[in-house]
Amino acid sequence: MSVHIEINLTTQQLTLLDDKQVLREYSISSAINGNGEQINSGCTPRGMHKIRIKIGHDCQVNTIFKARRPTGEIYSPELDLQFPERDWILSRIIWLTGTQSGVNRSGKVDTLKRFIYIHGCPDVFPMGEPLSHGCIRMKNDDIMELFDLVHNQMPVFIHE
């Protein structure tokens, strides 16, 4: 399979592999609602995916994104207190698309249309436990490193 990403939802680990050789391993946070593919479920989709597009290449760490666009804001604890309900998408976005029709692509199970990303979040957020709204959250330094190591169309396998 050459270079690809595997995300283990049970261990909350993202691994970048070259065939079976581990290149990098990161702690992540997947969905608090568990695993599932349905639209509006707030779950993390499983199965074979690929990177659709990478967003935020020239943005500084803690750049805040809304609708995949930088807002011009930089995350701070003060902003977090001001907007406690906000789902912070920071630093970089790796937008995923499903590759398995009826499983995670098309209809009511479409990963791309669900806006499922691998993205940064506030560094105070815990990793290693499911707490996201469906996406894969990573520490900012980790997502920035991973972002530079991956490319569009790279395979991403999400499993339990």
Q: What are the tens digits of pLDDT across the range 81-102?
A: 999 989 999 999 999 999 999 9
Q: Which domain holds residue 16?
A: 3-159
Contacts of 146 by beta carbon, 8 Å cutoff, 6+ apart: 14, 16, 24, 26, 92, 94, 118, 138
| pLDDT in the model for residue 90 | 98
| Global pTM value | 0.97
User: The dihedral of CA 52, 55, 61, 66: what is its sign?
Assistant: negative
| pLDDT in the model for residue 91 | 98
| pLDDT in the model for residue 95 | 98
Q: Are 103 and 47 in contact (CB under 8 A)?
A: yes
Q: Is the pLDDT of residue 1 over 90?
A: no
Q: Is the pLDDT of residue 54 over 90?
A: yes
- Please state the domain count of the chain: 1
- Per-residue pLDDT, averaged over 27-32, amounts to 98
CA 83 – CA 102 distance, rounded (Å):
37
Question: Which pLDDT band holds residue 118 (cuts at 50, 70, 90)?
Answer: very high
| pLDDT in the model for residue 132 | 97
Rg (CA), the chain: 15
| pLDDT in the model for residue 64 | 98
**CATH (domain of 76):** 2.40.440.10
